[in-house]
Amino acid sequence: MTKEELLALFYIIGNVVCLFVLLLLFIKNRKNKQTQSQYFNYIVISLAVYFIGDALWSPCYFKLIPNYDIFIKFARMLYYTATAFLGYFWFVYINITIGSDLVYNNKKRRLLYIPIAIASIYAILICLFLDPSIKNIYGYLTAFSLCIEPFLFVIFAGIKVFLKQLKVTDKVLKKRYINIAFWPIVILMVSIMQLFVAELPVFCFGTTIIVLALYIYNQDSLISTDPLTGIYNRNMLNRFISNGLNSENTYYVLMIDIDRFKSINDTKGHLEGDKALKYMASLLNNIVSKRGDFLARYGGDEFIIISKEDKLENIINLCNTITEETKKTKDDLGYSFTASIGYSIIDKDKPITESIELADNNLYEEKEIHHKKDKKR
């Protein structure tokens, strides 16, 4: 076999192996209907399309098949268009992971379709009339221009995660955000390397390793993270409590739930109910991450916050802030809901579960007040 044939064979085998890995991940994850898992599947599908185009490109690049010019144009259109979608799906996935409210704002999310459409049309036109693989300054610039849209999506996602981790004080959450910020950096590195080493499937192997590591990381995160909302779960709450609170500080526990949540499920469906829960989690996460408070999903539509705070006045202000923020739901979701909040100071001479129970009782007293007000209207 000639050197070109060996390189082409290696390139094709590399893509086939990576496609097989992606297929296994998709089969393993396809039944998970959570939004985060769905976008993970979209990333996997986009990469699979890229690898198919890349596998077609290899024998064309090395001129091992007749009429290779037509096939190579088709292969380029396939993988550059897949790259455009990949950047968008990766951006949304990271925003879901960090609890950004951008994902739940339909108007803002639809605006992101515009650069995808432009990038896809641009990729088709460029690949029809130009050759991005030419090894000169024009070829490199053409190839780079095709990657600008996904690069920008990935860069903005990385910057967003980096800024997010600066605002949190929880060490576990900060470490998680740093890990998430690392993924876009690696993707950019292997993408740039691929532009200069066209004969080797660098992007193929690099992105497959990242996606596989991401899947394993997500499985580990399920131990401490609520799969629907992306915030801490009861397991993490129990771990937080068992580690003990600093006896020198004063802490409050807040119990929050969505008013008339059952009616959202009954009238709009459980998918909309899940969306409301995710929106509420994102809203609370944005508020408490700036304060360094602990936040977890307690169960159902209930959330719990443990806040280190000396003044009751600041806790009341925190409750008011949460209440005010929930009033914005109509703009983002198309309908409005309110939240009830019960709080209690944590008595260090008693088990913390008693303080949680007291806050929960206060929560239901608050819900009764809201219910009576609604009846009078």
- Domains of the chain, start order: 3-221 (1.20.1070.10), 234-376 (3.30.70.270)
Measured in degrees and rounded to the nearest 5, phi and psi for residue 51 equal: -65, -35
Q: How confident is residue 104, by pLDDT bands cut at 50, 70 and 90?
A: low
- Per-residue model confidence (pLDDT) at position 169: 62
Q: How confident is residue 173, by pLDDT bands cut at 50, 70 and 90?
A: low
Q: pLDDT tens, 3-27?
A: 777 877 888 888 899 999 999 999 9
| Average pLDDT rounded to a whole number, residues 209-214 | 87
Tokens of 222: 């399920």
Tokens of 15: 């893509």
- Per-residue model confidence (pLDDT) at position 101: 63
- Percent of the chain exceeding pLDDT 70 equals 88
Tokens of 281: 């989690």
Q: Please give the single-letter amino acid code of residue 29.
A: N
Helix (H) or strand (E) holding 232: none
CA–CA distance, 172 with 182 (Å, rounded to integer): 16
- Per-residue model confidence (pLDDT) at position 254: 94
| Average pLDDT rounded to a whole number, residues 185-211 | 82
Q: Which is nearest to 363 in space by CA: 336, 334, 333, 339? A: 339
69, 132 Cβ separation under 8 angstroms = no
Confidence (pTM): 0.67
CA–CA distance, 281 with 318 (Å, rounded to integer): 15
- Per-residue model confidence (pLDDT) at position 15: 87
Q: Please give the single-letter amino acid code of residue 158.
A: G
pLDDT at 376 over 90: no
Q: Which is nearest to 297 in space by CA: 227, 357, 368, 360? A: 227
Q: In this predicted structure, which of 130-144, 220-234, 268-282 has the lowest mean pLDDT?
A: 130-144
Q: How confident is residue 373, by pLDDT bands cut at 50, 70 and 90?
A: low
- Per-residue model confidence (pLDDT) at position 57: 78
Q: How confident is residue 2, by pLDDT bands cut at 50, 70 and 90?
A: confident
- Per-residue model confidence (pLDDT) at position 372: 64
Q: In this predicted structure, which of 15-19, 173-177, 203-207, 246-250 has the lowest mean pLDDT?
A: 173-177
Most confident of 160-169, 170-179, 355-364: 355-364
pLDDT at 36 over 80: no
Q: How confident is residue 109, by pLDDT bands cut at 50, 70 and 90?
A: confident
Q: Which residue has the higher pLDDT, 227 or 287?
A: 287
- Per-residue model confidence (pLDDT) at position 256: 93
80, 127 Cβ separation under 8 angstroms = yes
CA–CA distance, 350 with 352 (Å, rounded to integer): 6
CA–CA distance, 284 with 230 (Å, rounded to integer): 12
- Per-residue model confidence (pLDDT) at position 136: 64
Please name every residue paired with 225 in a beta bridge, in sequence order, or none if there are none: 232
| Average pLDDT rounded to a whole number, residues 283-300 | 85
- Per-residue model confidence (pLDDT) at position 239: 82
- Per-residue model confidence (pLDDT) at position 45: 92
| Average pLDDT rounded to a whole number, residues 239-247 | 76
pLDDT at 371 over 90: no
- Per-residue model confidence (pLDDT) at position 171: 64
Most confident of 30-39, 139-148, 307-316: 307-316
Q: pLDDT tens, 86-95?
A: 888 888 888 8
- Percent of the chain exceeding pLDDT 90 equals 14
Say how many Å lie between the first and final Cα of the chain, rounded: 84
Q: What is the mean pLDDT of the chain?
A: 82
Q: How confident is residue 253, by pLDDT bands cut at 50, 70 and 90?
A: very high
